[in-house]
Structure 1
Amino acid sequence: MFRWILGGREAQSSVEKSPVLCIGEEQPKNWFTELQVLKGHFDIVRFLVQIDDFRCASAGDDGLILVWNIETGERLQELRGHSQQITAMTTFSCSDGLVSHPSLISASSDRSVSLWDPDTGNRVQTISDLQSSVKCLLVLERLCLWVSGGEELCLWNRDFQLQCQKQSHSDTGITALIELPKNCMAAAMDKEIMIYRLTVAPDSSLTVAELRCLSDHQDQVRALINVSDGLFASGSHAGELILWDAIDWNILAYEHILWEESQSPAQQLSTNGKVAEQPGRGGGELYCVLLILAAVGSGLYVYSVLTKTVVAYRKVAHDSNVLHTMLLSDRSEVMSCSEDGSVRMWEIQDLPLPAEPASPGFFGLWNFGRSNKQSGPPKKIMDVPNIRTLELTGDLIGHSGAVQMFVSFKENGLVTCSADHLLILWKNGERQSHRRSLALFKKLEENGGL
């Protein structure tokens, strides 16, 4: 999973907010029936990063980084050092012999980047007085390198030594980065995607070269994701979704989700198409169904990589812009959070008959390649065979401000962060009750009964 804050440019109109969804108190498919509020931040919490199976780090506009035990809700570490808001954060694991120790890299508006040890809370390395703020971070674990993106693209080694850099050609700078095969990277810069290649010289020096500029989007690129080893996808502010070949960078499919002119869509993407086990960790088998979840404005759309069509949708999933999404790989389930303060669970289901009507021009389903992008009128949803819907199965009510993102720890719980300065740890209530009962019985046995 990856995370970008992709809010709309304008507030949504009252017309958009009118179809209010309500699931009620009975939510049999919502297993998050127990919650724990985690306090410690003093401003908007924008970032959550999973460190391991039982720890996560949170950061935001107060410049603090807090490390939490998601099993107990205990605050383990408080990382202080940045004087302004955090702009990017990621984990950095670099093997030292047989041991791989997880660290945290954080970037701030104070034009510094720091490396932290989450076990001790110590700042191991820091880079100050950068030319500009870093907007995104990318770790190249195989090469034990990391990349920062902003007004320039900088390549760093594990000791935080600058290896090489490239100036951005866009006023907005680099806003998203992903790794591609053959030591390549894709960087989003305004309406363009720049492809870079990393080369290691015989003397172990590194260089970064610009290979190609992909200028097929009509608006600002807001999201980049790896779908599989050979595919990646990009999404623009105008609701465009482009599927790319990750080797030769050609367009494989183009989808445009059309909206009324009064609306200002923004897009973020997530997928279940990643490799089940990352290289070096065993496995390498792809999931059978490759899907991309696109959030455009307040709507959610499930796109099939195999059929090159939208296969499920919910035109209005929230009362305001969706900020983060997750499509579970092993089930037909979706999660999303929004500026309206809600966190919702969805299930992909067949549409009832008659199918939900669609306004003309709601979707544009296009053929392969850029040359066909503007040809012919867009199809309606009713023209798409086997179209499905997203049925609301759970509504997690707890935050009073915009929910920025969430991190799933699977059966161990879900963590959400918000503009209300809080984190909420959501738990499976039935599982927690069972664990407490077992702990009580164990204690009774140790004490010789009642």
Structure 2
Amino acid sequence: MLRWILGTRGSHGSAENRCAALCIGEEQPKNCYTELQVLRGHFDIVRFLVQIDDFRFASAGDDGMVLVWNVETGERLVELRAHTQQITALTAYTCTNSEKTLTALITASSDRMMCLWDADTGQRLRTVSNLQSSVKCVLVLHHLDVFLSGGNELCVWNRDFQLQCKTVHCRDSGITALVDLPKCYVAATIDKEIVIFKLNVSETEMSILAIRHLTDHQDTIRTLIRVNDDLFASGSHIGEVILWDTLDWTIQAYERILWEEPDREGQSEIKMGQQKRSEASIQHLHSDGERIVAAVGSGLFVYNTKMKTVVAYRKFAHDSDVLYTTLLHNGQVMSCSEDGSVRIWELQELPLPAEPASSGFFGLFSTIGRSSKQGSVQSKKLLEVSGLCSLELVGDLIGHSGAVQVFYTHSTNKPEEHRTLRSNTYWL
């Protein structure tokens, strides 16, 4: 594997973490991401990598620029410059009219401005400035040909950037994430709550109204994702993971993740006071529709929604907090961390009986509803289920000297030619 080291990786995490995290040598036969190319253009932290189509992706971050790249060659195609402060939201938007199909990018920034760009030419097509607050997230509703922006209020815009409707002030913390739900409903995270909004569409007007407040999380919600047609999921700062029904928004599963601790003086229960909050914080969730992979502190776990059980976990996957993770098409798991690494994990089946694991890892569907939260600290049990796997390290992509915020993977037509494009703390 070609390894190019920009500098010495910093010492992150505790000594226990550094000892527990795995290392892998130069021989990595199962690592198909062996080609390393440096893409130069950004001069501050890169926080967004967004796929535009099969041939292009866009990057953005704290320098206020958006760059469009050729995914195969790494060539910089266009530069989008208008924002004076960091980019806070970036998404691709394809709109079709009678004349042509436009592939566009929507950007938002801390400068309280939103822009619509032609991804082909780099031309700025629309601009909205002097917004009431910074936009923290953008959600495109293709079936309605509108998009939503979330900040201290939720706004609905048409393709011409004309405001269709908006909600009242959503408190200072603002909306941090949006998920599309069936029947013109939208879920939004506001601090510890998930608010369900109803988008009413008629021939003459459009309106949006908050109709339900889901208050089952006990701490700030860090991530919100759509799992499949039936489920969406949320994760909080203290390790809570909740699966929700997309139609009636009831809790389908609730669990508080408790990493395994050794027995002390015969105690059989795990006390939350024995662990730091950051060790169980849910930084990121990703799903392929059947499985969910979560970044939990410096560790990972994989949950199967059909089997209704955790199928793999590793408490120390990196030397420091995992910031982003995904499930690859070949079934592997990829993760990146504050420690500057991107790692590839393979799910390998375990024979039964499996090693002991606490039901507090992710005993989903075993604890339903708010009442289960109060009894989420449970005795250790042996997971007697089939399909359990271990997460084995098969690839370690070293090329950054600082925290890796996010990555984007791309597969060519040839199965042996895969590439991963990774964002450094500074894109060099």
What TM-score do the two structures reach when normalised by structure 1? 0.83
Cα distance in structure 2, aligned partners of 1:170 and 1:160: 24
- Look up the match of 1:340: 339
Alignment: residue pair count: 394
Mapped partners of 2:131, 2:393: distance in 1: 45
Partner of 1:8: none
SS of the equivalent of 1:178 reads strand
Q: Deviations over 1:39-79 (max 9, x none)?
A: 01110111111111111111111101111112111111111
Check 1:155–1:294 CA distance in 2 against 1; reply closer, same or farther (3 A cut).
Answer: same
Q: Cα–Cα, structure 1 residues 111 and 384, in superposed 2: closer, same or farther, change >3 Å?
A: farther
Cα deviation digits, residues 272-313 of structure 1 (max 9, x gap): 10xxxxxxxxxxxxxxxx111111111111111123221111
C-alpha distance in 2, partners of 1:305/1:355?
Answer: 19
Corresponding letter in the other structure for 2:305: V
Please tell me the root mean square deviation across aligned C-alpha atoms, in Å. 2.0
Corresponding residue for 1:269? 285
The residue that corresponds to 1:278 in the other structure is: none
Asked whether the equivalents of residues 364 and 379 of structure 1 are also in contact (C-alpha less than 8 Å), the reply is no
Between stretches 405-414 and 36-45, larger displacement belongs to 405-414
Corresponding position of 1:419: 425
d(CA) in 2 for partners of 1:249, 1:392: 37
Q: CA deviation at 1:95?
A: 1.3
Distance of 1:390 and 1:99 partners within structure 2:
47
Which deviations, in whole Å up to 9, do the C-alpha atoms of 1:193-231 show, x marking residues without a partner? 00001001242x110011100011111111111111121
Kindly provide the CA deviation profile for residues 305-331 of structure 1, in whole angstroms up to 9, marking residues without a partner as x. 123221111111111111111113x43
What is the match of residue 78 of structure 1?
A: 79
Distance in 1 between the 2:155 and 2:228 partners? Answer: 25
Q: How does 1:219-368 map to 2 (within 5 A)?
A: 219-259=219-259, 260-264=274-278, 265-267=280-282, 268-273=284-289, 290-328=290-328, 330-351=329-350, 356=355, 366-368=366-368
- Please state how far the C-alpha of 1:263 moved relative to its aligned partner: 4.4
Structure 2's unaligned 5+ residue stretches are 1-11, 260-273, 413-417
**For residues 149-197 of structure 1, what are the alpha-carbon distances to aligned partners after superposition, in whole Å with 9 as ceiling and x for unaligned?**
0111111110001111113434311000010000010000111000001
Q: Determine the structure 2 residue equivalent to 1:173.
A: 174
Q: Report if the CA contact (8 A) 2:258-2:358 is conserved.
A: no
Aligned to 2:43: 42
Cα offset for 1:368?
Answer: 2.6
| Cα distance in 2, alignment partners of residues 258 and 100 from structure 1 | 49
Q: 2:61 aligns to what? A: 60
Structure 1 residue 164 corresponds to structure 2 residue 170: no
Aligned AA for 2:347?
A: I
Deviation string, structure 1 residues 355-384 (Cα, Å, up to 9, x no partner): 556579655553233333323642536335
> Aligned partners of 2:151, 2:397: CA distance in 1, in Å?
35
For 2:123, the equivalent position in structure 1 comes to 122
> Could you tell me whether the CA contact under 8 Å between 1:363 and 1:379 is conserved in 2?
no
One-letter amino acid of the structure 2 residue matched with residue 261 of structure 1: Q
Is residue 181–residue 230 contact of structure 1 (8 Å, CA) maintained in 2?
Answer: no
Structure-2 residue corresponding to 1:154: 155
- Please give the secondary structure, in 2, of the residue aligned with 1:413: strand
Identity %: 59
Q: CA deviation at 1:354?
A: 8.3
- The yes-or-no answer on 1:371 pairing with 2:371 is yes
